[in-house]
Structure 1
Amino acid sequence: MSNNKPRLILFNNLMFALTFIGAVVLVPLYGVLVGYQTEAYWIALLFWAWSGLSITAGYHRLWSHRTWQAHSSVQWILAIGGAMAMQNSILHWCADHRRHHKHVDDNDQDPYSAGRGFWFSHIGWMLRSYHPITPSTYNNVRDLQKNPVVMNQHNHYGKWVLATNVALPVLLGWLSGDILGMWLLASVLRLVLVHHGTFFINSLAHIWGRQPYNDQHSARDNGVLALLTFGEGYHNFHHSFESDYRNGIRWWDYDPTKWLIRALERFGLASGLRQVPRERIEAARLAMELKSSQRLLAEHATAQEWLEKLEAEYVALMARIQDYYGEQQRLLRLHKDELDRATRQRLNELRLALRQQRRLWLSLRAKAHSQVA
């Protein structure tokens, strides 16, 4: 090993290697030779959802980005599930993640920069001590250091890991009559699935997918990854609007983490769900659509006329967006007795005008692109 390379983190290397070997060798071998009880499958599924959602709803959207607020009972459930996921304590995970967002794609300061390649961003960054803990490591999570749930989990992280990944599966296995089978499914296989599901967001979600909102960073939207990561696959949206509690903003977007947070709000266990104003999201998408058209048409000297038309239509559509959402925000500030028929009609007219302007924009883009196809 070169003396210039950071030291290997022995625990991480052993954990990732042994759990992966266990998942691909021991889990199927035990299934063939012995077989698993139905209870083991259900417990493994429950633990997979619990630990996975504890990372996405808790570590990520609650504590890293503060996009919602949770009742203390919910925080405890997510903190324990986060220890079960074995991705370090809340405090350390959030410190790394906030640094990632602040310095995204910076190979020196982004802890898991996609610019250093798939392997590094997926798992390599955890195998060596690239960012050793120093007195300044937790400077960006001082708010979390005031949270008793976060600090309890941080100070007793090892105990929580053993309790959730060893003691609890063994106890449930003993009760069901198959300790080893329960542990292999509910701990080993489940842990590998949750690990690599999360790691795919750091790696694949920065190289595979679309960039409908911003191309100033490498993050991409990918519906396939959303299926594997409890809705975290809409990563271009997330890096563009990190203060939003949602990742999938359309009703058909698969985002179980968003659905869980909404459900908790209905039961009074969550509050302060933050959403980026719709006009900002639409403006970002529109700007990227114009940018992609400009790139395409700029390569064809004969398309200058189409480019000018598109830019003019972009200005018109942006004006419609500002008119409609500006009026919508104004109406939200009015009392119910002030919302007369004429006021509602005005908003409806603006909505229809915006819809028509969108159609014109899409039609014009399609025609312009067909000219250079």
Structure 2
Amino acid sequence: MKQPPLIWTNIIFFVTTFVGAAILVPWRGLNHGFDAVEWAWFIILAFAAGLSITAGYHRLWSHKAYKAHPAVKVLYALGGALAFQNSALHWASDHRIHHKHVDNNDKDPYSANRGFWFSHIGWMLREYQPERYNDYSNARDLQQDQVVMWQHKYYLWLAAAMNIGLPLVLGWLHGDIISMLLLAGLLRLVVVHHCTFFINSLAHVWGKQPYTDRNTARDNGILALLTYGEGYHNFHHIFEHDYRNGIRWWHYDPTKWLIRGLSWCGLAGELRRVPQEKIDAALLQMQLKQTQQRLLNLSNADELLDKLQREYEELKQHLIAYYEVKKHLLEAKRQQLAHDHLLPQVAELKRRFQLQRRNWQRLTANLGA
């Protein structure tokens, strides 16, 4: 099959920046060295660029997981230009297509089923879907956003200002323009590129699938460290409109913390969260499916599968009952109605649900051993 035409602009850009960072940064480090200020700006700008992609391009504009103040949007637009991953309009349009057609080799712009290289960077090196490039019909809402359209119109100028002008100014103020350009400019750009590219590639091949196996997305706590919290990708692909990716308090998700912090300051609002009962239901469904698959080859599989199914149905009923009464309690509190009579019921249903869940976990652990 004939390969699509190469996109030489992208190829030259990616090769030049990567080779330049691999050669010039070590050369400068060995012959001149980098000081703490230059490393500090490398880290600051890396997080500014990366979080503008994850909190801005991804969770705000692609998935509308929350609303942000116009000043925050402007900062995201500048940080997105610093990340140099195209405009927010183009990025979000591509990403919405990815979620709609995930793993479809013909429609997903960076389908993981086409291999690690393709989903990581290869999809940007050839004209695989040229008809998609200027089609923003799935992002009409973003075309009404003045900040998005301002950044889209002046994207190349903004990208040049943020990636060349800003490091130049910082280097001039610090007294070492070359070192700042190489570290906070060039190396930072390459590192941010490949860390965020890992979300499309590595996050679809490395990790666990605790919530769904209907796509290739994986949860990986280690990868979250490199991707500003986006490593909990299996959760994200089933609950894409949740402003969180790491839902536990110990999950490393600086994007979630940034959004929550902005909400405390009045700079973000309407943070969307998936109801906990839906998360628990997805977890239970996957635990059931995975345990069933492990039992299929056993001699007494039918008996064990029946037992497993009975326990699952009982646990599911406990889950539904507990969260239903909890909803009534929260609604009564919201409307400032009398709710004392609900408290014992909620406590008892919670106790039964937790007991049944512990029994379920022991059962699935024993059957999976």
Q: Structure 1 length as normaliser, TM-score? A: 0.96
In structure 1, what is the Cα distance between the partners aligned to 2:34 and 2:251?
34
Give the superposition deviation at 1:355: 0.5
Q: Name the CA shift for 1:53/1:97 in 2 (closer, same or farther; >3 Å).
A: same
Give ranges in structure 2 of 5+ residues lacking alignment.
none
In structure 2, what is the Cα distance between the partners aligned to 1:343 and 1:330?
8
In structure 2, what is the Cα distance between the partners aligned to 1:58 and 1:154?
14
Per the alignment, residue 84 of structure 1 pairs with 82
Q: Which amino acid in 1 is paired with 2:342? A: T
Helix, strand or coil at the partner of 1:341 = coil
Per the alignment, residue 146 of structure 2 pairs with 148
Per the alignment, residue 47 of structure 2 pairs with 49
Q: Which amino acid in 2 is paired with 1:6? A: P
Helix, strand or coil at the partner of 2:130 = coil
Give the superposition deviation at 1:340: 4.0
Per the alignment, residue 116 of structure 2 pairs with 118
Give the superposition deviation at 1:135: 8.4
Does residue 22 of structure 1 match 2:16? no
Return structure 1 stretches of 4+ with deviation > 4 angstroms: 133-136
Output aligned runs, 1:121-270, within 5 Å.
121-133=119-131, 137-270=135-268
Task: Check conservation: 1:303, 1:368, Cα contact below 8 A.
Answer: no
Give the superposition deviation at 1:301: 2.5
Give the superposition deviation at 1:136: 6.7
Give the superposition deviation at 1:38: 2.2
Q: Name the CA shift for 1:290/1:367 in 2 (closer, same or farther; >3 Å).
A: same
Question: Once superposed, what is the RMSD of the aligned Cα atoms?
Answer: 1.3
Task: Check conservation: 1:320, 1:350, Cα contact below 8 A.
Answer: yes
Q: Which amino acid in 1 is paired with 2:302? A: Q
Output aligned runs, 1:63-82, within 5 Å.
63-82=61-80
CA-to-aligned-CA distance 1:113-135 (integer Å, 9 cap, x gap): 01110100000000111121558
In structure 2, what is the Cα distance between the partners aligned to 1:92 and 1:369?
45
Q: Which amino acid in 2 is paired with 1:255? A: D
Helix, strand or coil at the partner of 1:160 = helix
Q: Structure 2 length as normaliser, TM-score? A: 0.97
CA-to-aligned-CA distance 1:322-352 (integer Å, 9 cap, x gap): 0111111111111475344331111111111
Q: Which amino acid in 2 is paired with 1:95? A: S
CA-to-aligned-CA distance 1:86-111 (integer Å, 9 cap, x gap): 00000000110000000000000000
Per the alignment, residue 279 of structure 1 pairs with 277
In structure 2, what is the Cα distance between the partners aligned to 1:192 and 1:136?
26
Task: Check conservation: 2:329, 2:339, Cα contact below 8 A.
Answer: no
Give ranges in structure 1 of 5+ residues lacking alignment.
none
Helix, strand or coil at the partner of 1:333 = helix
Deviates more, 1:53-62 or 1:195-204: 195-204
Q: Which amino acid in 2 is paired with 1:297? A: L
Helix, strand or coil at the partner of 2:104 = coil
In structure 2, what is the Cα distance between the partners aligned to 1:174 and 1:271?
38
Q: Name the CA shift for 1:300/1:341 in 2 (closer, same or farther; >3 Å).
A: same
Task: Check conservation: 1:172, 1:182, Cα contact below 8 A.
Answer: yes
Deviates more, 1:324-333 or 1:286-295: 324-333
Q: Which amino acid in 1 is paired with 2:294? A: L
In structure 2, what is the Cα distance between the partners aligned to 1:196 and 1:9?
19
Helix, strand or coil at the partner of 1:338 = coil
Task: Check conservation: 2:325, 2:342, Cα contact below 8 A.
Answer: no
Give the superposition deviation at 1:37: 2.8
In structure 2, what is the Cα distance between the partners aligned to 1:277 and 1:18?
46
In structure 1, what is the Cα distance between the partners aligned to 2:132 and 2:29?
45
Per the alignment, residue 363 of structure 2 pairs with 364
Aligned residues: 368
Give the superposition deviation at 1:74: 0.2
Q: Name the CA shift for 1:104/1:366 in 2 (closer, same or farther; >3 Å).
A: same
Per the alignment, residue 296 of structure 1 pairs with 294
Does residue 104 of structure 1 match 2:87? no
Task: Check conservation: 1:47, 1:190, Cα contact below 8 A.
Answer: yes
Deviates more, 1:340-349 or 1:110-119: 340-349
Give the share of equivalent positions with the same residue, in percent: 54
